[in-house]
Amino acid sequence: MLLATPMRPLTCCVSLLAACALLLLPTTSKADDSIFPAAPPATAAIDMDGHRFSVRGERTVFASGSIHYPRVPRALWRDRLLRLKRAGFNTVETYTFWNTHESKEGVFDFSGQSDLDAFLTTAQSLGLYVIVRVGPYVCAEWDSGGFPVWLCFKPGLRVREENVPYEAAVARWFDHLFPIIARHQIHKGGSVVLVQLENEHPLGWGSEVANGYFTRLREKALSLGLEVPHFFSGLNHGHEPMGTPVEVAKRKVPWMSTECCARLV
């Protein structure tokens, strides 16, 4: 379904990870798989309880497939999204790739194959909901997990933690990214229903705020108009999410897996 570009040279990726002291510890799904609720202005369009999501008051199951816009030629976006829909999915999930949009520090590109606004518009035109996973680190078998190379040359910079130069760079990236996502939220006339902050971070999953880095990441997104439900890192990665009936009865959000591979027999 996805038309992927070849991986870039490993040496480039390795040098960046070493220079930035990337925090890449083994990750496992945390017990906290809760979701931050929608802000009041959005609840009429997207809401949830312990049993289900609801879209404009109607029970909705989000069946999502992944298409990453920079990996697919723009001319094929509509075709690939249509194939996704015809395969039975009602939702498309995509990461946003920082190094695609800010390959040179302070110079942002949201044109051509990097036109996130156009990708989200195309998905909506086909009746697909959208889950956006903004990172800033995205993994995704993408060069340096989406981190721009120029981060390497920032003195004292350490990624994915409480660090002034890193958080300042992330804040500037979000300043350009989130206005696009915000205007595509479902209560604003778009089809974005969920947003993921960070990705597979060992310290913070669901609504677990592990330290000041997570606090400021979320506060920045909220200040830029994030109002749909959102969460950190992922939910029930790699396994079927349902728990026992007792656990279900106590839940305030629906069960969800953000990455789960099913084997068809």
In a domain, 14, yes or no: no
In a domain, 23, yes or no: no
In a domain, 67, yes or no: yes
Cα–Cα dist 95/135, whole Å: 7
In three state form, how does the secondary structure of 104-151 look? Answer: ECCECCCCHHHCHHHHHHHHHHCCCEEEEEEECCCCCCCHHHHCCHHH
pLDDT for residue 251:
87
Digits of tens for pLDDT over the chain (265 positions)? 323 333 333 223 333 333 343 444 444 444 589 999 999 999 999 999 998 999 999 999 999 999 999 999 999 999 999 999 999 999 999 999 999 999 999 999 999 999 999 999 999 999 999 999 999 999 999 999 999 999 999 999 999 999 999 999 999 999 999 999 999 999 999 999 999 999 999 999 999 999 999 999 999 999 999 999 999 999 998 877 877 666 777 889 999 999 886 554 4
CATH code at 202?
3.20.20.80
In a domain, 175, yes or no: yes
pLDDT for residue 260:
81
Number of domains in the chain: 1
Tell whether pTM > 0.75.
yes
In a domain, 22, yes or no: no
User: Cα 147 to chain center, whole Å?
Assistant: 14
In a domain, 264, yes or no: no
Range of the domain at 192: 29-250
Cα–Cα dist 90/1, whole Å: 15
pLDDT for residue 31:
56
Side-by-side strand order, sheet with 64-66: 64-66, 91-95, 129-135, 192-197, 230-232
